Amino acid sequence: MANFPTSPQAQMPLAIDAQVEIDGIGMGVLSDGTPFLTARGLARLCGIQHTSILDIANDWKSGRPGILKIHSLLQTHGLSYDEPYTAVMDKGTLSHAYPDGVCLAILEYYAFEAGINRKDEALMNFRLLAGKALRDFIYTQVGYDPESHVPAQWKQFHDRMSLVYNAAPAGYFGVFKEIADMVLHLGQSGLHIDSNFVPDISVGQHWGRHWKDNNLEAQFGERKKFAHNYPEYFPQALSNPQESNCYPEAALGEFRRWFRETYIGQGKFETYLKGKAKDRSLPVSFAQLAVASYQDPKLLQ
């Protein structure tokens, strides 16, 4: 069986795909499909205080006998973890997700190996959840299908893109499709679009002014209107289909230069984010993280 190292420094940033709380047990699935429990949820399964789980996390590399026993239990299943949890950003807040492999090892420890600290509740739950049962239980509770699943944090981008990808007429481009790289970059930083974060509106307004102010129609040809639709669960869908501008493909080079040098480079994107944070459409932390993610000079070259 392959190892599942979970050191946050060793992976692309993960996010929480789906999460629920059942009878005080917080659980969910990460964007790579890993089922997890929260520290409090794991503690509840084990019949212990959640501070004991935090102590295990803090002492993970200490060599303390109890910790070594948990590592030994992991190794019997062919598993090893650099850290007992995966650190993930969830709407601008750092959370710790304990993967199912770690959870079962800690549960087994408190069921059989913890000496005077053994817990009958841990024994009962281990018997119920050993093997794949915990994984299957979490998947069922959060409604996650590992065989056919668009990760939740990408779903709104996926659904929007599916509606606009081929919506513009041949020979023309729409703004949302052309800023997909930005949306993907933000998503990889743990920041995903939703009905409150629709950056193509801001980009489209500024680009439209640039188009008119510089009479780009004379250089590239007339822009056209096309039917732009939002997914039905977006509030904006009430006015579907919406007329949006699309532009001659000959202007793509100019659009990309303007987007890199002016919209991003001259701070228009930062202004948009700060405005969203000010009117409370976005958390301040989201806006700060999005701005910081674009402060790498390589992204402006």
Rounded to whole angstroms, the Cα distance separating 37 from 100 reads 7
Low-confidence ranges of the chain (pLDDT < 70): 1-13, 91-92, 147-154, 188-193, 195, 281-283, 286-287, 293-301
Q: Is the pTM of this model over 0.85?
A: no
Tell me if 260 is assigned to some domain: yes
Q: Give, in order, the Cα–Cα distances in Å from 225 to each of 168, 173, 217, 244, 253.
A: 8, 11, 14, 5, 20
For 126, other C-beta atoms within 10 Å of its C-beta total 22
Phi, psi of 227 (to 5 degrees): -80, 115
Q: Which residues of 192-203 are buried (b: 16+ CB within 10 A; e: fewer)?
A: bbeeebbbbebb
Q: From start to end of the chain, where are the E strands?
A: 16-22, 25-30, 35-37, 86-90, 93-99, 172-173, 224-228, 242-248
Residues 174 and 275 placed together within one structural domain of the fold:
yes
Instruction: Please give the pLDDT value at position 222.
Output: 95
Domains contained in the chain, number: 2
Domain boundary among 142, 164, 191: 142
Residues 174 and 92 placed together within one structural domain of the fold:
no
Residues 22 and 122 placed together within one structural domain of the fold:
yes
Instruction: Please give the pLDDT value at position 114.
Output: 92
Domain boundary among 89, 123, 142: 142
Rounded to whole angstroms, the Cα distance separating 145 from 126 reads 24
CB distance 89 to 289 below 8 Å: yes
Tell me if 200 is assigned to some domain: yes
Domain boundary among 90, 120, 142: 142
CB distance 176 to 160 below 8 Å: yes
Phi, psi of 33 (to 5 degrees): 90, 0
Rounded to whole angstroms, the Cα distance separating 26 from 38 reads 5
Specify whether the backbone of 91 is left (phi greater than 0), alpha (psi in -120 to 50) or beta: left
**Angle at CA 282, nearest 5°, toward 281 and 284?**
130
Q: Which residue has the tokens 């053994």?
A: 118
Q: Which residue has the tokens 């109890």?
A: 66
Residues 129 and 230 placed together within one structural domain of the fold:
no
Q: What is the dihedral angle through the alpha carbons of 220, 223, 227, 228, rounded to the nearest 10 degrees?
A: 70
Instruction: Please give the pLDDT value at position 13.
Output: 55
Instruction: Please give the pLDDT value at position 260.
Output: 87
Question: Range of 93's domain?
Answer: 8-142
Residues 18 and 69 placed together within one structural domain of the fold:
yes
Residues 181 and 68 placed together within one structural domain of the fold:
no
Instruction: Please give the pLDDT value at position 91.
Output: 64
Count Cβ atoms within 10 A of the Cβ of residue 296 and give its class: 0-12 exposed, 13-18 middle, 19 or more buried: exposed
Instruction: Please give the pLDDT value at position 301.
Output: 45
Rounded to whole angstroms, the Cα distance separating 50 from 100 reads 17
Tell me if 147 is assigned to some domain: no
Rounded to whole angstroms, the Cα distance separating 246 from 285 reads 33
Tell me if 3 is assigned to some domain: no
